[in-house]
Amino acid sequence: MTDYAIEARDVAVTYADGTEAVRGVDLLVERGEFFGFLGPNGAGKTTMIKTLVTLLRPTAGTVRINGFDALETPRSVRATVGYMAQETSIDPELTARENLRYACAAYGVPRSERADRIDELLDLVDLTDVGGKEADDFSGGMKKRLDAATALVHRPPLVFLDEPTTGLDPAARNRLWEYFRRINDEGTTVFLTTQYLEEADQLCDRLAVIQNGTVVADGTPGALKRRVGGEILDVQLADPGKRERAVEIARHGDLFAVGATVEPTDEGVAVTARDARTSGTDLLVALRDDGIGVVGFDVRAPTLDDVFLAVTGDREGERTEVDDSDGGVPGPAESQTVGGGGSNGPDDQGDSDGRDGGRR
């Protein structure tokens, strides 16, 4: 038996209209891992998930899930995965308990086990007290928790969560993170797509970044952040109008180590460099000597935002390297999310090959 929960090799998915949504993706996810799949809107995340759960057939490549070949034994794959889609699958007119009962029936959970399973899942997502209430009365966060629970009724060893926290407030999001951690702690492999980089940072053992259908980076959050190549110095200018001059000084003043990158920000200038901390004061002095006022500065470790900008090349036009670089990357991002938020909820076109198991 393979050690991998997900073993996807050279997977390509081209839609009927010719859109090449996924192009040659390799993914190896070990059993028990919490794996994150990041990318901007339209990068191919949902297409990849749908391929992994056998809702779409790959145009090329091979997919094995929990040791089962997705093309040859799709039913076995479906029996061993849970899928929380972007669109809710719960029926608002049913109670939480009824929704879970429906899901148990759809997934073929033996009748004798259903009551216990439902109690267990309501407890897992803290909905026991409201199990008899209609889902329509639930908050967005409670609905998502119920959604997550319905994906788990058949105790799948692997669960796919497609942007499970999009649109939730931070408190509700935090709460869901707790449940996802709990699920993973109990041994379930989790494959999560998200637009929230902090979410990936908090939860994932390992992640991959996809852009235009291709994986452009993968590794642990720590390793990806180290790839950014140093720390980031943010300098806020008294007059942001002088930022072009400040950028020029930072770039050409011979202040930072080889590989440093400099970019303008809304408030001034940001430098990513191995010696951002030690050489930062040289920049402040150089700016003062040039008559440029500084109202604040800050040296910080890279975040996944920085990684994301680096590997997807966002803000490409604003990025300039000081010198030949071994992994120089752009500086800080203001944004907490990848892409513009919201979901595109692509249609299940392609080959919905007669999935058993009801609504998922």
Nearer to ligand ATP, 39 or 259 (CB): 39
Report whether 286 contacts 183 (CB < 8 A): no
Q: What is the distance of C-alpha 262 from the center of its chain?
A: 27
Residues lying near ligand ATP in the complex (CB under 6 A) are found at 15, 17, 19, 21, 39, 41-47, 343-344, 346-347, 349
Nearest to 183 by CA among 225, 124, 269, 95: 124
Nearer to ligand ATP, 161 or 237 (CB): 161
> Residue 66 and residue 252: Cα distance in Å, rounded?
54
Report whether 200 contacts 338 (CB < 8 A): no
For residue 186, the minimal CB distance to ligand ATP (Å) is 27
Instruction: Return the bridge partners of 25, or none.
Output: 11
Nearer to ligand ATP, 140 or 346 (CB): 346
> Residue 191 and residue 200: Cα distance in Å, rounded?
11
Nearer to ligand ATP, 199 or 263 (CB): 199
For residue 110, the minimal CB distance to ligand ATP (Å) is 35
For residue 195, the minimal CB distance to ligand ATP (Å) is 6
For residue 346, the minimal CB distance to ligand ATP (Å) is 3
Report whether 72 contacts 57 (CB < 8 A): no
Nearer to ligand ATP, 36 or 44 (CB): 44
For residue 151, the minimal CB distance to ligand ATP (Å) is 18
Nearer to ligand ATP, 19 or 278 (CB): 19
For residue 22, the minimal CB distance to ligand ATP (Å) is 7
CA-to-CA dists, residue 238 to 245, 246, 251, 273, angstroms: 13, 11, 20, 23
For residue 39, the minimal CB distance to ligand ATP (Å) is 5
Contacts 24+ apart (CB under 8 A), 142-146: 143/88, 143/90, 144/88, 144/168, 144/172, 144/176, 145/175, 145/176, 145/179, 146/90, 146/96, 146/99, 146/100
Nearer to ligand ATP, 261 or 337 (CB): 337
Nearer to ligand ATP, 50 or 143 (CB): 50
Report whether 75 contacts 356 (CB < 8 A): yes
Q: Which residues of 270-306 are buried (b: 16+ CB within 10 A; e: fewer)?
A: bbbbbbbeebbeebeebbeeeebebeebebeebbbbb
For residue 86, the minimal CB distance to ligand ATP (Å) is 6
Nearer to ligand ATP, 281 or 349 (CB): 349
Sheet of 320-321: strand order equals 294-300, 231-237, 268-273, 261-264, 320-321
For residue 131, the minimal CB distance to ligand ATP (Å) is 31
For residue 210, the minimal CB distance to ligand ATP (Å) is 7
Strand, coil or helix: what is 297?
strand
Q: How many CB atoms lie within 10 A of CB 267?
A: 15
Helices 111-124, 96-106: inter-axial angle, 10-degree rounding: 130
Nearer to ligand ATP, 173 or 251 (CB): 173
